[in-house]
Structure formats: structure tokens, C-alpha cells
Structure 1
Amino acid sequence: MNKETLYIAISNQKGGVGKSALTTIMASYLHYNNMKNVAIIDCDYPQHSIFRMRNSDIETINSNPELQVALERQLEVTNRKAYKIINAIPDKALTYAQEIIDSSAENIDLILFDLPGTVDSSGILNVIFNMDYIFVPIIADKRVLQSSLTFIMSVTEYKRASTLPLRLKDIIMFWNKVDKRESTELYDFFNKLMLAENYRLLKTQLPDTKKYNKELALDRNIVFRSTFFPPDKKLLKYSNLEEFVSEISKIINL
């Protein structure tokens, strides 16, 4: 019997917290390293940054013979073709997700949704409550933290008050872009607030490092963020990505 496909979103109502980058990196790590069948629904209108990255990756690979050889070698070793990235408006996101599941010859383990930065987008609330889990990246910025907490409180209260069965099982925050040189005062205060309010927070923190910005380029073969390659093993050290993916995989039972 096929296992039900999981719907996951790395989402936040504030920009600049890394949700699209982490969605791409996590999808590539799971698909090419952990051999999980994944797909991405990019409904982050109007940026559609992940869909645009796929097109940029294609252009870069087509212009770089070394990357073409690397991609062919990866396919020979892993037999992993590129995962699907679908460009969608929120109203169509769930329909496209089901079409991916129905049309795939293999069971799709996980579909990641890149959501818009506002709940005011048409159809976005329906998408939010049809996720299995939402993971919210937060950074040490008071405005981001206030916005993130408001978003989580609103979703949680709506879920508690709803008389209808909702697919959403949990919404969990995690620290991103953590700079060890910063004061721990804001982190400590927010962690205590989360604990007091009974909201969940991942143990894994992601550091503030330029590694997460290393994309495919004509003059760069070592990458961390790509839709065709997993993060380079040389760059995984001190990135906490492996711990991040492992912790999430245990939570969602992937």
C-alpha cells in the first residue's frame, strides 16, 4: 500500500528569513541524498523564486560542460532524475499537488509548498490548513518575531476553534541565521515565551553562513543551493543542515 504523501511548508509572513532557500535545499537534500521522492509547489506569488531558480539552473548547466558531466555522473550513480517544481497560484496549489501524485509512477513521499508572504492571498488559508506540518523560520529581529508569533497564534487559534477536521497537525518554529556573536538575550526571552505558550521549537538552529547562498554559477562548481544537485559534502560541515533535516524527518515520520 502506498504511503500517503506528506504536505509540508517552510513558511513565514515576513520576507528575508530564508523560507524559499531552505525549501529548495531541503528538497534537494531529501531527493538526491536521502532518496525520497519529492516535489515543490511554488505558489509564492509574484516572486516564484524557486521556479525561477530551476530555469536559471537549467541555463547554467547548459552553458557549463563540467556541470553537465557532473549531472550525468550523478544520474548514473543515484538514478535520481530532477524533482518536479510546479509554478502555481495558491488557489491551484492543492489541485496541482494531487495531479503530481496521480501522475507519478512512483509514490511521492513529500511535497513542499513555498507559500506567499501574506495570508491575504486568495486561497492561501485553505492551503495552510491542508498542510500536514508548517515549519516557521525565525530570526533575531523583534519585528520578525512579533509577526511570526502573531501568525502562529492565529493559525493555532483557528485550528482549535474549527468544528471541521483540518489536515494541519502542527506548526513549529526554528531559529535561522543564528549569529553566535549576537547577544543571547533575545533568543532566551523568546525561547521562554515559546515554552510558556506551549509552542514548539526545533532543537536544531541554523547558523548565519554564506554557504546557504552558494548557487550554481558558470564559474562555480561547488554549490549548496540547487534544484539539480544536493548540497556539496564539503560545505555541509557546520551548516547544521543534516541535523535540521534529520529532526524534521523524525517529526513528520518520513
Structure 2
Amino acid sequence: MVILIGNQKGGAGKSTLTLLFANYLTQVKKRKVTVLDMDYQQSISSKAEKAKILENEPLYDVVPAELKIFPSLHSSLTNRAGEIIIIDLPGKMDDDGLLPVFAAADVVICPFAYDEFSVDSTILFAMVLRKINERAPFIFIPNRIKNTVKYETRSEIEKVIQRFGVIAPALADRVDFQRISTFQTPLILLPVVLPVLDHIYNQYIDWEEKT
């Protein structure tokens, strides 16, 4: 199974969400996971290297990879029975190397915020991906939501986004998200993230593999 985590807008929380899912799948669901770090900043790969220096046992393989080698990587990884491949996509759309990645997706997860720039990028990402892949469930996660802020256009934004997929429960803005690593998710975050991750796993990942 291939799970894409992407949005055209940088800073949407793609890499953090990738770590959350990888840690959840390995630690809670005991699944075999490989993370492909295709984001240009390579922040997940940097965290994985730091974990090795600190002698922390990795939960999963993190492979820094360019888009152009994805077809070969995909062919190799899909031969591993039961493995889940999570891809942290680059925050841009003007690379033809994205086409085979989009086509290979079994599930697409897109973090976004309720501001104008994030929404525009989110809709463009969804439109392009949907033209290439019509079968993969598309899950949008409102991310870094501030409880003290009133999002006046929220309902209108959600109506547009729901043309492309479903909107999952929101993730609140918490400073603890900065402490997520490739070997652990801080315990204080689990009550915040588990309802969202359990919902997505039960509805779209576990179910997809059983059908």
C-alpha cells in the first residue's frame, strides 16, 4: 500500500504528519513501514540520521529519494508483503516526476489550514492529483488549528474541499508537535492524535487492504 502525504504549500505539516503516521503504524498497529522522503528539505531524513547518532533504534526505514527514481523504488518495495509505503511529497507541482507517484497512490492525505493561501494550494493539489488518480481515497486533515481563532469562512471552504474527498477531524496547534522524531511520538500528544489516526486507519487503510 502506498500512502501519499502532500500539499503544494510548504509548511502545511506534511513531514510532521508523515512522522505521526509512521510512528503510529509501527508502534500501535505493528505494521511494517518504509518512509520515502521526497520533500526537498529532507527534514525526515535529517531526523533519522540524528536518531542514529543518538543510538535510538529506528522504527522504520527512511529513504531519501528523488522523484525520478520512484518507479524503480516502487517496483522494489511493493514486492514486500504487507508493507506500507508512506511518501512525504515535495511542496510543488511543476515536476513530471510526480505523475507516477500520484498514479501509484492507494490513499492520499492532505494537511491544510483555513487560510486563503493554504486553501488555494490544497484545491490545486487535489485537482491535479484527481486527474491522474481517481481511485484513491482523499483525506484532508485540518492542521494546526488554533482553538482561540474563529475561522469565519470555514464552512464555505469545507464545501469546496469535500468535492474531492473527506475531511478528517482536525489536529490542534500544539508546540509538542515539534518534538516528534523517527523513534517516538511524545506521549502527551497521543490523546490529541490517536482519534484522527485511528479514524483514518480503520476507514481507509485497514479496510482498503481487506477488500
Indicate whether the TM-score tops 0.5.
yes
Which residue does 1:49 correspond to in 2? 43
Aligned partners of 2:138 and 2:166 also within 8 Å? no
Structure 1 counterpart of 2:144: 177
- Give the distance between the partners of 1:93 and 1:131, measured in 2 at CA: 12
User: Secondary structure of the equivalent of 2:144?
Assistant: coil
- Name segments (4+ residues, structure 1) moved above 3 Å: none
Which of the residues 111, 124, 132 maps onto 2:85?
111
CA distance in 2, matches of 1:179, 1:138: 13
Q: AA paired with 1:236?
A: L
The CA distance in 1 between the partners of 2:77 and 2:103, in whole Å, is 20
Match of 1:204 in 2: 169
Structure 2: how far apart are the matches of 1:168 and 1:194?
A: 17
The letter for the 1-side match of 2:182 is: T
Partner of 2:67: 90
Give the whole-Å Cα distance in 1 for the aligned partners of 2:20 and 2:158: 26
Asked whether the 8 Å contact 2:35–2:62 carries over to 1, the reply is: yes
Change (3 A) 1:94 1:244: farther
Partner Cα distance (1:236, 1:253) in 2:
19
The match for 2:124 among 129, 150, 167 is 150
1:17 paired with 2:12, answer yes
TM-score (norm 1): 0.74
> Where do residues 161-172 of structure 1 align in structure 2 (5 Å cutoff)?
166=133, 168-172=135-139
Which residue of 132, 137, 145 corresponds with 2:111?
137
Q: Partner of 1:191: helix, strand, or coil? A: helix
Match of 1:217 in 2: none
- Are the counterparts in 2 of residues 10 and 135 from structure 1 also a CA contact under 8 Å? yes
Contact 1:40/1:112, CA 8 A, preserved across alignment: yes
| Structural RMSD (CA) | 2.0
* C-alpha distance in structure 1 between counterparts of 2:118 and 2:33, whole Å: 29
Give the Cα separation in 1 of the matches to 2:160 and 2:68. 34
Cα shift readout 1:129-155 (whole Å, capped 9, x = no counterpart): 211121111102101101111221232
Cα contact 1:8–1:113 (8 A) shared by 2 = yes
Q: Structure 2: state its 5+ residue gaps.
A: 207-211
Corresponding residue for 2:161? 194
CA deviation map 1:117-139 (0-9, x unaligned): 11222411221121112111110
Check whether the contact 1:10–1:114 (CA below 8 A) recurs between aligned residues: yes
**Does 2:182 align with 1:227?**
yes
In the alignment, is the contact (CA less than 8 A) between 1:43 and 1:93 conserved in 2?
Answer: no
Aligned counterpart in structure 1 of residue 28 of structure 2, from 33, 40, 44: 33
